[in-house]
Structure 1
């Protein structure tokens, strides 16, 4: 049975999104260490999603068994779409991107998603948008051109850029899906079953039993390359604080804030990723590239605020 949201607490929603963005941002560095232990992006994605699904199921079995009841009808179709696009496709393309690109650049490209959303609602849904949309698109594309220094030719890995763009498309799809009746159902049930769908999909692509051995220790890379950790501990950090916690926090936040607000606040993630890339992995941007990154972020904010019809969660 679908239950309605009875209360909304915007302050709680903001706090949840900020915490989720911090966890997602930090997880980019930890994920890179995990893949450095010998895991391919495909094996790592299967391990991450399957592990997260098991944690969600275990939690629901102990504390909220109603979340184990499979959604039905259109609710299940939404969950399937979230699982295939918003979890499996997004995580796989993201992991390939951060494995091949500087961490901050991969996140900047992924966060073109809000710009794609505005273009979708303008030309496909035919919704009215403010004129600032065109400035937003120009800032985002121009900023990325500056960051990637296109005048020198593409300075980043081509496949990495393609995967980051596909991550942006997947993220935009997740955002558009999330605007539909996510506020009506238990967030735990929605995210649990989305991860069940994603787990099935990823195990068809790269079965978990083909995961290579992770014995010994793995380097923490970058400025911490002289230090090491157990690779299974690193994977556990990716699964619980890096996946389960932020995905669930953002799903709960959507019960208290419009999806349009959630996506803008979540932009803290690429900011954190750029700082982390500099502090941990010695990645740096020239002053003009920093200006390009700021232009991209400004374009994203303008894009999200250019929609005249803001989608809101159902009222009690």
Structure 2
């Protein structure tokens, strides 16, 4: 890429949403660049699941296939870089990157996803993505009928426990501190034979990434072959909010059904816009947002002629 680039759409983020958007826009003959720092959230994951025709693929192979297919479209470029500032407005946004790139783009599409805030649980990082997961739709099949430990509490737990029961009934709950439950909720768990432990976690013992047991501060040992836990997520970038895009308390960018944010000319897609964090859903939302921004660009060009 040159030091200055003029684009129809700058796509910030190169996960399933951003790459899917680039494919749609490349096929629509738009000048597009996907700007991604190269540190995907699912880098720790061995396999991605639930994506038809790609079930069980590694995230790195998924991205490799996507980039190979995008190479067929000369109007699409990929840059491993980070956007550090954006100014301007609909029709002319000025972006600057850490590598000194200056980009002018008519539209923006944020596909920045979410990032995990490190959890202060000894041993969790060693098993994350190998035998500890966050989404049963992605990894529940591999752990069906296995003895599991669920690390969660409060309302999130009372949503997750019934959900996980479709894959296995053999799980216990560790709240890693106060459970934040009502007595009625505790009774509900007891009625479904779900043991509840509120002692803090001392350690997660594992071998080669495969969990063996969770040890609590009170000395309780919970043998298991897998863990599901509630992650603490933060937005992948604060740029949408800095540009005035409406963002929820959870950091989710508010968009309409076509991926439009509250700021003209700015779109968003993927995990940054939803709490349903599945690759296939992110790719779909990227395609929808790309079609919407392409329609907007074509209509604007039509009216100028």
User: Structure 2-normalised TM-score?
Assistant: 0.27
Query: Larger % of helix: which?
Result: 1
Task: Give the structure with the higher percent strand.
Answer: 2
- Higher RCO, 1 vs 2 (CA within 8 Å, ≥6 residues apart): 1
In terms of Rg, which structure is larger?
Answer: 2
